[in-house]
């Protein structure tokens, strides 16, 4: 009998959502069969069985959010096998709690027992007696280690959260409730004091007593969207961005693409401008290895491989599949692989290895008519290139005004890993390669 644990399906995954159970209790399972579809922080992925047997238990239901390592099901040699913890009361529908939660429960029980003994020796307080007052500093709130860690991760002030555990102790449930409800978990005195301190106009905005005319409806937020929000917030808060902008002449690039696609017409492969830019970035990264780096835990990592990520918009948000060894791939290979990965991204079928290992990213919004924009770095990469739409603009060429096709590029750079002059040199060479596109394949 083997337990199925929530796997880590991406490098940033901390928990997963059971999207769909493909196998039901009692079904025969062969190694390689898809057991369950799991929604991670990046996509919905298939989780396969590693052994033959029968699925005898689903520990969690579809839609449940489960931390990495928690038990989600059990496989046994016989369909009649009964998991040890299932008892006679039917199938258990919750994942086994992680060790941290088990330790927290044990600590809660211990404190409850200690509190009971202590309270037994105290004289009874009259009902409704006011809390003792004094000028002594307020004691630090009683918390569990898990609660303190979660509070730090969520950016919550634990001193303003009301505990529901023994003797007012703050436990995980309180932290989760505070994350969802914000100030609603603060003590009544704190809330009252804050409300009194707010200007009347602010009170009206935060808690309107009238119809605000927006007819708002709360939408269900996917796990992918939640993680996108968290990671982008972390990126802007922790990564010191600086931005470099340059507009290139795209006349030669346009002609080069037409020539390449004419040569590939019999193969069914069609190279896009983005494919050319991705390949040009890989070529330029080989010339400027200082940009092909990452700043991680006060250490600078130099990457020996060039793996360019391509941002793809999907219904759930934005995912960045990675083209490994982009510098070694041909244009037709980049075109084919990009379309394959984009399709899998939209279907939620990307594998973990297809979304990890990126050393640089390209985000192109030109197809939406966006002239230029500033992209947020995808940690731990050191840079990302934002590509705008191709536009016809009047420019001076050899002393005369001419209409030329031009593209705006903007490089967002992590200043911890890359200095301004290094980033500028990279963007300069990238622009020159794109303006002399034969260098892309040489």
Q: What is the pLDDT of residue 146?
A: 67
Q: What is the pLDDT of residue 198?
A: 47
The answer on 235 and 195 residing in a single domain is no
Torsion of CA 246, 374, 354, 300, to 10 degrees: 80
Dihedral pair phi/psi, residue 225, rounded to 5° = -65, -40
- Please report, for the domain that includes residue 159, its CATH number: 4.10.320.10
Rounded to the nearest angstrom, the gap between the alpha carbon of residue 153 and the centroid of all alpha carbons in its chain is 14
pLDDT tens, per residue, the chain with 442 residues:
788 998 877 666 778 888 889 999 999 999 888 899 888 766 777 888 888 999 999 999 888 888 888 999 999 988 887 776 544 333 333 334 444 444 454 554 444 444 444 444 444 444 333 444 444 444 566 776 667 777 877 888 888 888 876 567 787 778 878 887 653 344 444 444 444 444 444 444 444 455 667 878 888 777 667 777 777 787 888 899 999 999 999 999 999 999 999 999 999 999 999 999 999 999 999 999 999 999 988 899 999 999 999 999 887 778 899 999 999 999 999 999 999 999 988 887 888 889 889 999 999 999 999 999 999 999 899 999 999 999 999 999 889 999 999 999 999 999 999 999 999 999 999 999 999 999 998 8
The answer on 65 and 185 residing in a single domain is no
The tokens of 382 are what? 């050191």
Count of domains in the chain? 3
d(CA 281, CA 327): 9
The answer on 40 and 170 residing in a single domain is no
The answer on 410 and 275 residing in a single domain is yes
The answer on 191 and 249 residing in a single domain is no
Told to judge if 94 belongs to the known catalytic residues of this protein, a careful annotator would answer no
**Residue 386 contacts residue 375 (beta carbons within 8 Å):** yes
The answer on 271 and 330 residing in a single domain is yes
**Model pLDDT for residues 87-141, shown as the tens digit of each residue:** 433 333 333 444 444 445 455 444 444 444 444 444 444 433 344 444 444 456 6
d(CA 42, CA 319): 6
Q: Please check whether residue 122 lies inside any domain of the structure.
A: no
The tokens of 329 are what? 């791939």
In the listed set 43, 58, 76, which residue is the last one of a domain according to the structure?
76
Q: What is the pLDDT of residue 276?
A: 97
- Please report, for the domain that includes residue 65, its CATH number: 2.40.50.100
d(CA 342, CA 434): 24
Q: What is the pLDDT of residue 412?
A: 97
The answer on 182 and 239 residing in a single domain is no
**Residue 75 contacts residue 55 (beta carbons within 8 Å):** yes
The answer on 399 and 268 residing in a single domain is yes
Model-level pTM? 0.60
Domain range for residue 195? 142-201
Segment holding 243, helix H or strand E: strand 241-249
Query: Exposed e or buried b for every residue in 62-73, given b needs 16+ CB within 10 A?
Result: eebebeeebbbb
d(CA 409, CA 371): 9
The answer on 405 and 262 residing in a single domain is yes
Q: Is 208 exposed, middle or buried (0-12, 13-18, 19+ CB in 10 A)?
A: exposed
State the DSSP code for 170.
Answer: B
Q: Please check whether residue 123 lies inside any domain of the structure.
A: no
Rounded to the nearest angstrom, the gap between the alpha carbon of residue 374 and the centroid of all alpha carbons in its chain is 19
- Provide the CB-side half-sphere exposure for 28 (13 A, CA): 1
Dihedral pair phi/psi, residue 77, rounded to 5° = -75, -25
Beta bridge partners of 394: 403
Helix, strand, or coil here: 438? helix
Q: Please check whether residue 106 lies inside any domain of the structure.
A: no
Q: Please check whether residue 378 lies inside any domain of the structure.
A: yes
Q: What is the pLDDT of residue 140?
A: 60
The answer on 189 and 58 residing in a single domain is no
Torsion of CA 381, 385, 386, 390, to 10 degrees: -160
Q: What is the pLDDT of residue 200?
A: 45
Q: Please check whether residue 84 lies inside any domain of the structure.
A: no
Q: Please check whether residue 102 lies inside any domain of the structure.
A: no
φ/ψ bin of 373: left (φ > 0), alpha (ψ from -120 to 50), beta (otherwise) = beta
Set 94, 189, 288, 415: catalytic member: 415
Rounded to the nearest angstrom, the gap between the alpha carbon of residue 334 and the centroid of all alpha carbons in its chain is 25
d(CA 50, CA 32): 6
The answer on 427 and 334 residing in a single domain is yes
d(CA 281, CA 363): 12
In the listed set 23, 49, 76, which residue is the last one of a domain according to the structure?
76
The tokens of 54 are what? 């029968």
The answer on 175 and 236 residing in a single domain is no
Q: Please check whether residue 103 lies inside any domain of the structure.
A: no
**Residue 261 contacts residue 253 (beta carbons within 8 Å):** no
Dihedral pair phi/psi, residue 397, rounded to 5° = -125, 120
d(CA 269, CA 267): 5
Q: What is the pLDDT of residue 376?
A: 94
**Model pLDDT for residues 400-433, shown as the tens digit of each residue:** 999 999 999 999 999 999 999 999 999 999 999 9
Task: Give Cα separations from 329 to 164, 335, 383 (angstroms).
Answer: 58, 10, 21
- List, as one string, the DSSP characters of 182-242: GGGGS-HHHHHHHHHHS-HHHHHHHS-SS--S----PPPPPHHHHHHHHHHHHHHHHS-EE
Q: Is 13 exposed, middle or buried (0-12, 13-18, 19+ CB in 10 A)?
A: buried
Q: Please check whether residue 432 lies inside any domain of the structure.
A: yes
Q: What is the pLDDT of residue 208?
A: 46
In the listed set 39, 55, 76, which residue is the last one of a domain according to the structure?
76
């Amino acid at each position: 009998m083997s337990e199925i644990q929530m796997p880590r399906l991406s490098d940033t995954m901390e928990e997963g959502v059971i999207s769909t159970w493909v196998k039901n209790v009692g079904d025969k399972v062969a190694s390689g069969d898809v057991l369950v579809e799991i929604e991670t922080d990046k996509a919905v992925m298939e989780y396969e069985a590693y052994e033959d047997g029968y699925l005898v238990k689903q520990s969690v239901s579809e839609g449940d959010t489960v931390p990495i390592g928690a038990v989600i099901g059990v496989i046994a040699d016989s369909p009649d096998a009964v998991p040890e913890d299932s008892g006679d009361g039917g199938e258990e529908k919750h994942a086994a709690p992680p060790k941290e939660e088990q330790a927290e429960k044990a600590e809660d029980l211990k404190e409850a027992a200690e509190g009971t003994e202590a309270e037994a020796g105290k004289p009874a307080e009259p009902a409704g007696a006011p809390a003792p007052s004094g000028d002594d500093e307020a004691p630090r709130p009683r918390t569990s280690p898990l609660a303190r860690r979660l509070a730090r991760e969520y950016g919550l002030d634990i001193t303003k959260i009301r505990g529901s555990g023994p003797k007012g102790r703050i436990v995980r449930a309180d932290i989760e409730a505070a994350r969802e409800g914000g100030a609603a978990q603060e003590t009544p005195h704190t809330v009252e004091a804050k409300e009194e301190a707010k200007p009347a106009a602010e009170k009206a905005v935060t808690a309107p007593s009238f119809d605000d005319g927006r007819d708002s409806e709360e939408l269900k937020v996917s796990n992918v969207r939640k993680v996108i929000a968290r990671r982008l917030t972390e990126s802007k808060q922790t990564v010191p961005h600086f931005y470099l902008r340059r507009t290139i002449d795209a006349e030669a690039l346009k002609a080069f693409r037409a020539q390449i696609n004419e040569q590939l017409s019999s193969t069914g492969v069609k190279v896009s401008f983005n494919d050319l830019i991705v390949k040009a970035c890989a070529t330029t990264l080989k010339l400027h290895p200082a940009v092909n780096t990452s700043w991680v835990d006060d250490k600078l990592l130099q990457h020996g491989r060039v793996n360019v990520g391509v941002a793809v918009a999907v219904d759930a948000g934005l995912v960045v599949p990675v083209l490994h060894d982009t510098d070694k791939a041909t244009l037709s290979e980049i075109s084919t692989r990009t379309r394959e990965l984009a399709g899998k991204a939209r279907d939620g079928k990307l594998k973990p290895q297809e979304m990890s290992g990126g050393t640089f990213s390209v985000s192109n919004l030109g197809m939406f008519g966006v002239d230029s924009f500033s992209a947020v770095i995808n940690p731990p990469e050191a840079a990302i290139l934002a590509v705008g739409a191709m536009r016809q603009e009047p420019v001076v060429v050899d002393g005369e005004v001419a209409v030329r096709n031009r593209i705006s590029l903007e490089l967002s750079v992590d200043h911890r890993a890359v200095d301004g002059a290094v980033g500028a040199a990279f963007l300069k060479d990238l622009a020159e390669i794109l303006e002399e596109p034969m260098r892309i394949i040489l």
